[in-house]
Each structure stands twice: as C-alpha cells, then as structure tokens.
Amino acid sequence: MRPLFHPAVEDVQPAAILHALSDPTRAAIFARITREGCVEACSAVSALGDRVIPKSSLSSHFKVLREAGLIRCERHGTEMRNHSRILEVEARFPGLLPAIMNAYARSLNDEPPPS
C-alpha cells in the first residue's frame, strides 16, 4: 500500500472544503479529529450520536476529507490515523474553518435533539 494522496496546501480549493463540510456527518468527523488531534477511523463511528455509519460510507467520508485537504491520513499497522490539517488550511484561508465549526456548534445549540 503506497501512501495516500494528499493535496499540497496551496492546491486546496474552497469549493472542495465547503463541499466536504456541507455534510454534517463529515463536519462532525472533522470536528472530532481536530478537537482530539488524532482519531482512528472506525472509532469515529461510535462517537457520532447513536447513528450507525456503515464502514464503506465512513471510508468514503474520510476520502472526501482527505482529498479536500482537511485531514492527513497515515496507516499504522492495521489502523488508520487521521490528523487535522486545520493549521495549514488556516494559513491559506484565514478564519474559514473556525467560522464553519462555530456555525455548526451554534446551530447545534439552537436545536437540541428532539427528546
């Protein structure tokens, strides 16, 4: 397995970032990776509410985030470690990712889960 492709930070496109984060599931995954520094792929499953996300869907979510330049993925043994590229992206597009994550946090506060 050759290392996965990651775009150089100067090739990262706003459209790709917005598309990647326009999916709440991916945004939650990215938020978690950023918050925790490093997250192993499958462990993210159990953490996103109680919804079960199929492995194949998760795999493609990670691929979208990686190709958008939002995360860096490397294999360690049998597991995949995912790191946030937020600092790199922040340098290129100042304020973008914090604003997006704040917006999601805000809207989650506004609408607590329908209990």
Q: Candidates 30-38, 39-47, 83-91, 100-108: pick the segment binding DNA (CB under 7 A).
A: 39-47
DSSP string, the chain: -PPPP---GGG--HHHHHHHHTSHHHHHHHHHHHHHSEEETTHHHHHSTT----HHHHHHHHHHHHHTTSEEEEEETTEEEEEE-HHHHHHHSTTHHHHHHHHHHHHHHHS----
**Of residues 22 and 102, the one with the C-beta less far from DNA:** 22
> What part of residues 15-44 is at the interface with its own copies (CB under 8 A)?
15, 17-19, 21-24, 27
**Of residues 22 and 107, the one with the C-beta less far from DNA:** 22
Q: Would you mind telling me the total number of residues written for the chain in this entry? A: 115
For residue 95, state whether it binds DNA (rule: CB under 7 A).
Answer: no
Q: How many residues bind its own copies (CB under 8 A)?
A: 26
**Of residues 22 and 59, the one with the C-beta less far from its own copies:** 22
For residue 60, state whether it binds its own copies (rule: CB under 8 A).
Answer: no
Residues that bind its own copies (CB under 8 A): 10, 13-15, 17-19, 21-24, 27, 92-96, 98-100, 102-104, 106-107, 110
